[in-house]
Amino acid sequence: MEDRFGRTIDYLRISITDRCNLRCLYCMPPEGIKVKPRAEIMRFEELLRAAGVALQLGINKFRLTGGEPLLRRGVIPFIRALTLLPGVADLSLTTNGMLLSRMNEQLWEAGVRRLNVSLDTLDQVKFRQMTRGGDFCQVWDGIMGALETGFQPVKLNVVALNHFNDEEWARFARLTYDYPFQVRFIEIMPVGTSWQQAGRYFASSTQVCQRIEQALGVLNPAEAVTGNGPASSFQLPGAKGAIGFIDSVSSHFCSRCNRLRLTADGKLRPCLHDQREVELLQAIRSGASDAELQDLFRAALLLKPVDYGEATGAPADGRGMCQIGG
């Protein structure tokens, strides 16, 4: 499926819950968010219906997100059913890692082969501060368990934050010497709650790269890296893993965007930084045909902006990352 600017759209990020067991500073206010009533969240059979329609349109790569997707009861049977849909080429999952150590093997057996783990610091005290109560050791055990289980790649998503984790950027990069991680540094985006932190903590990918090269030497462009994301990938000489930069603010990757998002409450969102959405869930519950649902996907595609500048923006009082499935 192509959008009006000739970009191939073959990737759907599916948020299966807006609930999370952490309260990260750039994602949620201290009190958390007001989660949707269960009746307003897509049921698993509705998510499978949506994925089936996406497959009919040529979207064959899926990533499960949240909130925290592993919190949702029944997630393993759902994943197994999703992987069995004819035409699925790739299925991955993004998690905060808190439940990973107990679910690695189940995820593998259900058909997941690639994992992204959000990890913004390697310091236990800072981790507790950033997540408002999370346990770094629990997450690290889950990451190590993922490697032992066989997930490849395991991507570590690091939101680059000046005055918080800037002294750790080189430390994260050093991990790639010893482990086959893809460590990906992500620029903080002003979406929802993160508006409050974006100005204070923003660090560009260029800053991060320069800091790493000052400490560890020149980064070389990496060979082909598995995944569907927008990261520009590099390697340190002799490293097992790779280092990626996602410069979504300073140097937008809009021309390479290949995705749509489906929120937990059933709305198709064409762009993370654009608050326009297309209602899908109500159409499913009203008995819409596959052809009618395909038209809603196409309507969402028509709303996809050419670039960051054309996007309507994601206001501070708008939906946050955990509500969108960022």
Question: Does residue 15 have a pLDDT over 60?
Answer: yes
Q: In terms of residue numbers, what domain contains 16?
A: 11-324
- Grouping H, G, I as helix, E, B as strand and the rest as coil, residue 65 is strand
Closest CA to 16 of 47, 37, 45, 39: 47
Torsion angle, alpha carbons of 163, 165, 168, 170, to 10: -80
Say if 315 falls within a structural domain. Answer: yes
| Residue 22 identity (one-letter amino acid) | L
Closest CA to 93 of 126, 68, 65, 60: 65
Contact between 324 and 263 (Cβ < 8 Å): yes
Neighbouring C-beta atoms of residue 174, cutoff 10 Å = 18
What's this model's pTM, rounded to 2 decimal places? Answer: 0.93
> What's the rounded mean pLDDT across residues 240-268?
90
Question: Does residue 103 have a pLDDT over 90?
Answer: yes
- Give the CATH number for residue 228: 3.20.20.70
Number of domains making up the chain? 1
Q: pLDDT tens, 216-242?
A: 999 999 976 666 667 899 999 999 999
Say if 135 falls within a structural domain. Answer: yes
Say if 4 falls within a structural domain. Answer: no
39-73: burial string, b at 16+ Cβ within 10 Å, e else: eebbbbeebbbbbbbbbebebbbbbbbbbbbbbbe
Closest CA to 228 of 94, 40, 96: 94
Average pLDDT, the chain: 91
